[in-house]
């Protein structure tokens, strides 16, 4: 197991190097001049040259990359061109809303979708199965921003139960205000993942329910609930866990639309603001952190397979 963990960790290094190179070249070779954005429309050529020299933009692109990569190795993501604050500080300020929203969404998705998929497989071909699959298709088909605006219209405007926009940090306002502001964004963000996890759970359970050990459990007098959730679900858990882990990783990047709709000051909003202002250091830092999180989550998923299926062993 240790050697496998080490190999997977080392394999992630070239992936991150390629991501860093791609991000650097994509932003540097795209049209636009950060110096002109910083200086404004009334800047003189001399002022633009001074800004380019300060930022190192007048150097050859390979020297810019090596200088930037060296700073990354020291944990320095650079300084924002717009706010003149360290990129790590900006991301730390926006981290809690995004992570808390993603965690709430994935918990909601798992709690709702896994029982839906199990029941649909148990009642295969019945009205319940058809209803679950119809809900899943609807979740895949309707754009998330449409679902968000419908939730706002019904629960915030018509019924007045929940706030329209905004966010309350759980560390400052407590759990109650946090839930009131986060439940609608979490519902919006989790819709497609509920559909995805429910379909995968149903498909995996259908493969397992016909196995001999399930019939043996029934023959021994085990209850239906015990057979479904203890025996069958555990053996069907590997593909379900993979979908859940991948969904969580994608949620980190999928919060952009949700935070824009509900005016949440998280990493998604920071990404949009940085792109519109061509704030290179912030964009690069966000993409690299997101890529690192994605790699780590996939590594954790691979290592957790052995916990669900004892037949899996890593050499």
* Per-residue model confidence as pLDDT tens digits over 213-230: 777 777 777 777 777 777
In this predicted structure, the answer to whether residue 26 has a pLDDT above a threshold of 80 is no
- Statement to judge: residues 188 and 143 lie in one domain: yes
What CA–CA distance (Å, rounded) separates 311 from 211? 16
In this predicted structure, the answer to whether residue 196 has a pLDDT above a threshold of 70 is yes
- Statement to judge: residues 33 and 112 lie in one domain: no
Residue 19 included in any domain: yes
Given a contact cutoff of 8 angstroms between Cβ atoms, the answer to whether 151 and 184 are in contact is: yes
Greater model confidence, 56 or 289: 289
Query: Mean pLDDT across the stretch 95-106?
Result: 86
Q: Is the pTM of this model over 0.75?
A: yes
What CA–CA distance (Å, rounded) separates 146 from 126? 30
What CA–CA distance (Å, rounded) separates 169 from 44? 44
How does residue 314 score in pLDDT terms, banded at 50, 70 and 90? low
- Statement to judge: residues 66 and 131 lie in one domain: no
Query: Mean pLDDT across the stretch 289-300?
Result: 79
- Statement to judge: residues 32 and 159 lie in one domain: no
Could you report the per-residue pLDDT of 137-158, keeping only the tens digit for each? 888 788 888 888 888 888 888 8
How does residue 30 score in pLDDT terms, banded at 50, 70 and 90? low
Could you report the per-residue pLDDT of 155-171, keeping only the tens digit for each? 888 888 888 888 888 87
Residue 81 included in any domain: no
Range of the domain at 66: 2-73
- Statement to judge: residues 47 and 175 lie in one domain: no
- Statement to judge: residues 118 and 180 lie in one domain: yes
Query: Mean pLDDT across the stretch 38-44?
Result: 67
Residue 58 included in any domain: yes
- In the prediction, which pLDDT does 284 show? 82
| Token pair 């759970």: residue | 201
| Domain end call among 73, 103, 123 | 73
Residue 84 included in any domain: no
- Statement to judge: residues 127 and 39 lie in one domain: no
- In the prediction, which pLDDT does 305 show? 67
Least confident of 38-42, 114-118, 167-171: 38-42
Residue 47 included in any domain: yes
Given a contact cutoff of 8 angstroms between Cβ atoms, the answer to whether 248 and 296 are in contact is: no
């Amino acid at each position: 197991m240790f050697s496998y963990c080490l190999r997977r960790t080392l394999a992630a290094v070239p992936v991150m190097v390629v991501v860093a190179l791609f991000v650097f070249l994509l932003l540097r070779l795209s049209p636009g001049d950060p110096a002109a954005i910083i200086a404004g429309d009334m800047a003189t050529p001399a002022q633009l040259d001074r800004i380019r020299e300060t930022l190192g933009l007048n150097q050859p692109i390979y020297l810019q990359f090596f200088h930037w990569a060296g700073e990354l190795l020291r944990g320095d993501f650079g300084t924002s061109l717009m706010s003149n604050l360290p990129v790590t500080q900006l991301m730390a300020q926006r981290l809690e809303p995004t992570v808390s929203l993603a965690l709430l969404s994935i918990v909601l998705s798992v709690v709702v979708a896994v029982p839906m998929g199990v029941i649909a497989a148990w009642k295969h071909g019945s009205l319940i199965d058809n209803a679950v699959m119809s809900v899943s298709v609807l979740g895949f088909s309707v754009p998330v921003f449409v679902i968000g605006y419908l939730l706002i219209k019904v629960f915030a405007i018509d019924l007045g139960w929940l706030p329209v926009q905004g966010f309350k940090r759980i560390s400052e306002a407590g759990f109650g205000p946090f839930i009131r502001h986060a439940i609608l964004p979490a519902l919006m963000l989790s819709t497609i993942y509920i559909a995805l996890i429910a379909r995968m759970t149903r498909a995996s359970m259908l493969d397992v329910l016909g196995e001999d050990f399930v019939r043996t459990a029934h023959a021994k007098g085990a209850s239906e609930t015990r057979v479904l959730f203890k025996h069958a679900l555990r053996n069907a858990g590997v593909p379900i866990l993979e979908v859940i882990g991948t969904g969580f990783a994608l949620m980190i990047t999928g919060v952009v639309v949700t935070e824009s709709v509900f005016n949440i000051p998280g990493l998604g909003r920071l990404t949009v603001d940085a792109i519109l202002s061509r704030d290179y250091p912030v964009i690069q830092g966000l993409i690299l952190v997101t890529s690192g999180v994605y790699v780590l989550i996939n590594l954790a998923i691979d290592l957790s397979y052995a916990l669900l299926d004892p037949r899996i062993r890593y050499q």
